Amino acid sequence: MSPNPTVTDAPLPPHASPLPATSSPAWESLHPNASTAMRLFGASSLGGVYLVPAAMLLIAWDSLGWSGGVRVAAWAIGALLVLLAGWVAGGVRWSRTGFALDAAALRIRRGIFWRSETLVPRSRVQHTDLNRGPLDRRLGLATLKVYTAGTKLASVSLDGLPAERAAELRDALVAADDDAV
């Protein structure tokens, strides 16, 4: 018997039982159409952020004595660079996002610079939503939003899923559980 029985001999609570070391989840990538959606979102987001400072620069460049053509060309080159950066960032975001559903939980990996892995235990799932905007419908995609036990803001979203796969995940996560309260 160990000298400190409370630490080494105490049984793990049922919710803390570790997964077997051999059960590595099968990670899935987002649908290729999600790359297009994320690239368009990235380009439009950065483009929108660019417009206000760029307009202020156009006004400030008046004091530099640049001709109107040079100012407009500089603004257009800046706009193209910003749109290109947003397009590339959306592609990288797509390539760095994945998910896995196993017997215990939904796992989501994402992030470009700051990588995160979110674990949503099946036992904590309260309800789910499927959202499909106009671009999502055009590309055959959906966003799965999983609400968990806790505060009203306790939710996790996974966008870029094929609509059929999102429905399968939704149904698997809300399947009847014998120990549900």
Nearest to 50 by CA among 83, 92, 91: 83
In the chain, alpha helices (H)? 5-8, 32-60, 68-95, 134-139, 163-173
pTM over 0.75: no
Q: Could you give the domains of the chain?
A: 35-93 (no CATH), 98-181 (2.30.29)
Q: Which residues pair with 98 in a beta bridge?
A: 29, 109
The answer to whether residues 112 and 96 touch, using CB atoms and an 8 Å cutoff, is: yes
pLDDT of residue 17: 45
Nearest to 149 by CA among 109, 181, 116: 181
In this structure, the number of other CB atoms found within 10 A of the CB of residue 158 comes to 21
User: CB burial class (10 A; 0-12, 13-18, 19+) of residue 69?
Assistant: exposed
pLDDT of residue 109: 92
pLDDT of residue 1: 46
The answer to whether residues 142 and 163 touch, using CB atoms and an 8 Å cutoff, is: yes
Tens digit of pLDDT at every position of the chain (181 positions): 444 443 444 444 454 444 444 456 788 888 889 989 999 888 888 777 777 777 777 666 666 666 667 777 877 887 888 889 889 998 999 999 999 998 888 999 998 889 999 888 888 888 899 999 999 999 999 999 999 887 666 889 999 999 999 999 999 998 755 555 4
pLDDT of residue 63: 64
What strands, in cross-sheet order, belong to the sheet with 28-29?
A: 28-29, 98-101, 105-110, 116-121
**Residues across the chain:** 181
The answer to whether residues 45 and 86 touch, using CB atoms and an 8 Å cutoff, is: yes
pLDDT of residue 4: 44
pLDDT of residue 22: 43
